[in-house]
Amino acid sequence: MSCPCQAAPSWQHMFAGVLGLKPNALKPVTTSDKNKEDIYLVDGTVSDQGPNYILAKRLQHWRAVVEFSQGHTISSNIAPSTATASVVHNAQFAAAYGGMHVFSPMEVMYAETSNAVMGALLVHDVRNPEAPANGKNKLNNPLQLFSYGGFHGGTWRCGWKMGTIGIPSAVVFYAKTYGLVAGAVTAAFVAGAANFVMN
């Protein structure tokens, strides 16, 4: 299995160790049924969100799997990284979101975009009897419940684990935002020092 990080820009490979980037490649899990299908997993957790948040999301998935196995229709689609007020009020998260685009194909969505797409997926899951979310339809593996309607914003195809691109993304954002100011201050200091030495 090839790692999506192989397609990442060379600067990311050169600084991967310094930046703490970890490849986003987990070995597929093969189902134990007669189909022997490979299920691909992604580590999309960000430990900065805290253990309670991560546990709450796992509990949602576990509960959805139990209800689906009992024939209930379940709409539990994966949403992309979204710049909601509750996330970007934290300056570090806002900075990470501001620089995340350098880790292609990552795209941080506006709340309105995520709401519209996730709402449409919800209507599809509930109204379409052929939807994978319909409890009457059988899946080869319960984890497929979360993959069919996944609107992941690039997380599943990003070359690096989500938990490792936050700090480098924030550094890119700060360099882009304040780099011009720092360059101007440095140029002014050099010009001032040169003027002092010349006089």
Ramachandran category for residue 108: left, alpha or beta (phi over 0 → left; psi -120 to 50 → alpha): beta
Return the minimum-mean-pLDDT range out of 4-8, 9-13, 109-113, 178-182. 178-182
Distances (CA, A) of 194 to 51, 150, 159, 181: 53, 58, 46, 20
Read out DSSP for 82-116? EE-HHHHTSHHHHHHHHHGGGSTT--PEEHHHHHH
Q: pLDDT exceeding 70 applies to what percent of the chain? A: 89
Question: Could you list the residue range(s) of the whole structural domain that residue 25 is in?
Answer: 4-198
According to the model, what pLDDT value does residue 141 have? 84
Dump pLDDT digits (tens) for 38-51. Answer: 888 888 888 888 89
Checking if the pLDDT of 16 tops 80, the result is yes
Residue range 3-26: average pLDDT? 83
Confidence label for 20 from pLDDT (cuts 50, 70 and 90): confident
The mean pLDDT value for 131-159 works out to 89
Instruction: List the alpha helices (DSSP H) in 36-90.
Output: 51-69, 85-88
CA-to-CA distance for 107 and 126, rounded, in angstroms?
Answer: 27
**Bigger pLDDT: 199 vs 113:** 113
- The predicted-structure confidence for 67-121, as pLDDT tens digits, reads as follows 999 999 999 999 999 999 988 999 999 999 999 999 999 999 999 999 999 999 9
- Please tell me the total count of domains within the chain: 1
Asked if pLDDT for residue 186 goes beyond 70, the answer is no
Predicted confidence at residue 52, as pLDDT, reads 92
- Give the C-alpha separation, 176 to 98, whole Å: 10
